Amino acid sequence: MGEFVRVESADGVATIRLDRPKMNALSAQVQREIADCARQVDADPGVHAVVLYGGERVFAAGADVKEMADMPYAEMSAHSSVLQDCFTAVAEIGKPVVAAITGYALGGGCELALCADVRIAGESARLGQPEILLGIIPGAGGTQRLPRLIGPAKAKDLIFTGRQVTAAEALEIGLVDRVVPDADVHTEALAYAARFAGGPAAALRAAKRAIDHGLEADLDTGLEIERLAFSGLFATDDARIGMRAFAEKTRAKFTGR
């Protein structure tokens, strides 16, 4: 439990809750706390899915610019590695991760949302990568995860111009997966995540890793990643439980082993 980031768990779903008023600026401390929480929920066998949430008013408005403004090159070189490692810890959570986006998700806030598997946004949410307006570029995965999600042309438009997009446009270009009334964002994210509570944890982890790692490789390598993950699951109790339940036409009760 950090000063600005905490984990709230119930019924197999953990919420990583950002709480640094007013705008959830992602200072170095907040970044470290996010990474600590990500590793905590990843290692907890009682957590089956994760929600990233910044509260009712804002997801995260980006990095703490005041903190970065006077950093010399040598210090930023070291800090940027820590920054990427913190966000990678979220991306590597081996469970379904849902970003519940309210208000602004800009700069580092947008990059944090990109680390999720599914993004649910409120109707008034605004997303973007405005770093170019500061004379810099995204440094927490924006130039890599964004084009992989929405394609290079759309990603270049957002990164080159620094413009913000509405929730409606974000849905249109594939930056978010669902738009709901602002008041329903967290509830909808929890409901989606709850679908995985009691699910086959090893299979979900394997599916996520196969997809994510396969996207970084050529097709033949991706198929080999899939084959190894697929066959490896036959060593799990859940695979036997699931296939036996299918044969017996009953509902599988997975154990997570």
Does the pLDDT value for residue 137 go beyond 80?
A: yes
Average pLDDT over residues 185-189: 98
User: What local confidence, expressed as pLDDT, does residue 64 receive?
Assistant: 78
DSSP the chain: --SSEEEEEETTEEEEEE--TTTT-B-HHHHHHHHHHHHHHHH-TT--EEEEE--SS-SB--B-HHHHTT--HHHHHHHHHHHHHHHHHHHT-SS-EEEEE-SEEETHHHHHHHTSSEEEEETT-EEE-GGGGGT----SSHHHHHHHHH-HHHHHHHHHH--EEEHHHHHHHTS-SEEE-GGGHHHHHHHHHHTTTTS-HHHHHHHHHHHHHHTTS-HHHHHHHHHHHHHHGGGSHHHHHHHHHHHHT--------
74: left (phi over 0), alpha (psi -120 to 50) or beta: alpha
Burial of 229 (0-12, 13-18, 19+ CB in 10 A): buried
Per-residue model confidence as pLDDT tens digits over 81-95: 888 999 999 999 999
Indicate which residues carry an active-site annotation. Answer: 111, 131
Per-residue model confidence as pLDDT tens digits over 20-66: 999 999 999 999 999 999 999 999 999 999 999 999 999 998 877 88
Residue spans of the domains in the chain: they are: 5-194, 201-248
The answer to whether 33 touches 77, Cβ cutoff 8 Å, is: no
Cα angle, residue 198 at apex, residues 115 and 254 outer, rounded to 5°: 120
Q: Give the side-chain half-sphere CA count within 13 A for 104.
A: 17
Does the pLDDT value for residue 1 go beyond 80?
A: no
Which among 153, 100, 148, 157 is positioned nearest to 128, based on CA atoms? 157
- Integer Cα distance of 232 and 235 in angstroms: 6
Structure confidence at residue 186 as a pLDDT band (50, 70, 90): very high
Does the pLDDT value for residue 78 go beyond 90?
A: no
User: Same fold for the domain at 5-194 and the one at 201-248?
Assistant: no
Class of domain 5-194 (CATH, top level): alpha beta
Q: Give the side-chain half-sphere CA count within 13 A for 246.
A: 6
Which of 16-25, 61-70, 233-242, 247-256 comes out lowest in average pLDDT? 61-70
Average pLDDT over all residues of the chain = 95
The answer to whether 127 touches 121, Cβ cutoff 8 Å, is: yes
- Integer Cα distance of 199 and 120 in angstroms: 21
Pick among 1.10.150.240, 1.10.12.10, 3.10.129.10, 3.40.50.150: CATH of 201-248: 1.10.12.10
